[in-house]
Structure 1
Amino acid sequence: MVLQRISLLTIGARDLPKLRAFYQSLGWEETEISSDKYAAFKTAGVILSLFPMEELIKDAGMEQAQWKESQDGYSTITMAINVDQPEQVDETIEEIRKLGGHILREPSDAFWGGRTAYFADPEKNLWEIAYNPASVFDERGAMLSY
């Protein structure tokens, strides 16, 4: 069974500093790791992150042309299911593969110290399965920080 949890919502930003300034202007609290290269805002149970679109495309294991050429293009928003252990990334991707999800990036160790993989649902919405050793969850599984 795949965890019924959305812990991180990432927007592929065309102009990250401008988009970050917008969310700051709303008075939203940022996490301590935020910058003009990657920003994250605390919300009620879900972290909203902003990541440069070009970097998001690469991180998902895709090519820029693949992103742009598709008539039914992929969304610029990525949802994430953060798991509790690194091996759960692999287990979850295998479950999604069995269920017909389109795997975009096989499980691999991430440059930031965790483990990650990406898949697309039938309508080409992007999902990341991630293990982040710094993530903290409450008793319901809501992400408190990462």
Structure 2
Amino acid sequence: MIPQRVSLITLGAINLPKLRQFYQSFGWQETEMSSDNYCAFKTAGVILSLFPLEELEKDSGVKISRSPDTYQAVALAINVDEPNQVDSMIETIRGLGGEILREPSDAFWGGRTAYFADPENNLWEVAWNPSSVFDERGAMISF
């Protein structure tokens, strides 16, 4: 049986120092696993790691087609406790140099949502879902 969990998300970084600085500007702290060639941030539910794209290719044994000019086909999400937090987070991210792709708006499913891209065009959603439940660490356990 395969455990039903996501433990680690790794983004293949084209420019690791620039991407690392962007997430540090959120106030996110790196874990003790970080080094000059690898970066990891502990979040409420998973570890977000940044790994040089060339090293990810070596590690996985596959060639990864990636351009800094295209958006990636995966969206990560930061879910918040209150609808007004979507708006305030997007303003903070805008001030930190994140590209706002979709301004905050009410969603058809009853929540509030917005999208931004990091400096390497990884997609992020900031969302409030009125039925989301978080555990004591802030990890989403249902939505």
Partner of 1:109: 106
State the alpha-carbon separation in 2 of the partners of residues 71 and 144 from structure 1. 33
Partner of 2:96: 99
RMSD: 2.0
State the alpha-carbon separation in 1 of the partners of residues 78 and 123 from structure 2. 11
- Unaligned 5+ segments in structure 2 are 8-44, 47-66
TM-score w.r.t. the length of structure 2 is 0.55
- Runs of 4+ in structure 1 displaced over 4 angstroms? 26-29
TM-score w.r.t. the length of structure 1 is 0.54
Task: Name the SS of the counterpart of 1:89 in structure 2.
Answer: helix
Q: 2:69 aligns with which of 69, 72, 81?
A: 72
Q: Is the 8 A contact 2:102 2:116 kept in 1?
A: yes
Identical-pair percentage: 69
- Unaligned 5+ segments in structure 1 are 1-25, 30-41, 47-69
Aligned length in residues: 86
State the alpha-carbon separation in 2 of the partners of residues 120 and 43 from structure 1. 22
Relative contact order higher in (CA < 8 Å, ≥ 6 apart): 1
